[in-house]
Amino acid sequence: MVLASIPVHASSETWEAKLDLTIPSLEMPSTLALDSRDKQEIMMGFECCWDQKLIEAVHLEHSLKSIESWSKEKAKKSPYTLQFDLSDPPGPAEWTTFVLFQALDVYSTVQGTKYDCVKEANPIYGEKPSESRLIWTKVALITPAVEYDLKRGTLTKRSMRSMNNVMFLILYNNYYVINKAKTHCTKSG
């Protein structure tokens, strides 16, 4: 499309101050008709030929987009930046319980798998894991997960208590199985 300017004689009546050539619209006109260049020019201060309501609409749209962009940037946290915003970090009681429950899980698993009718349910360990395999597998899996949560600032008292509650249920199951195995199975070694 090519724009051509054709000289036309315009009467002075057309340009009188009392004659408003703008199309009446809603309270706040839409900026959809403007292309990005027009909007940019208005934002840069070239407002001479635009209706004041349209100029205000462009400024409002720009402000809303700026706020939206700022909000999105603020919401994005870089995975490469350490975030230490722990509102309620785990305390000594949660850590002690966590470590104790892990040790009791290893002990009860080793004791339980000594019975011929008991097998470890977790496929990572195998049916009859050794004590060292249990310990090293737990260390290899749990340590990076805990460190990752600490760096992200997502490990709290509440989340640690939840993990400890799950471990309590696992321990309860282990000791239930061991007590049942004592009466129904043969212990090997």
Q: In this predicted model, what pLDDT tens digit does every residue of 119-167 receive, in sequence order?
A: 988 888 888 989 999 999 999 999 999 899 888 888 889 999 999 999 9
Q: Taking 90 as the threshold, does the pLDDT of residue 100 lie above it?
A: yes
Sign of the CA dihedral running 6, 11, 17, 23 = negative
- What mean pLDDT value characterizes the chain? 78
- Higher per-residue pLDDT: 85 or 163: 163
- Higher per-residue pLDDT: 117 or 78: 117
Both tokens assigned to 14:
């057309």
Q: At what angle do helices 92-112 and 157-184 cross, to 10 degrees?
A: 20
**CA-based nearest residue to 42, from 60, 21, 58, 26:** 58
Distances (CA, A) of 38 to 29, 34, 41, 54, 97: 15, 6, 5, 11, 65
Q: Name 18's Cβ contacts closer than 8 Å, sequence gap at least 6.
A: none
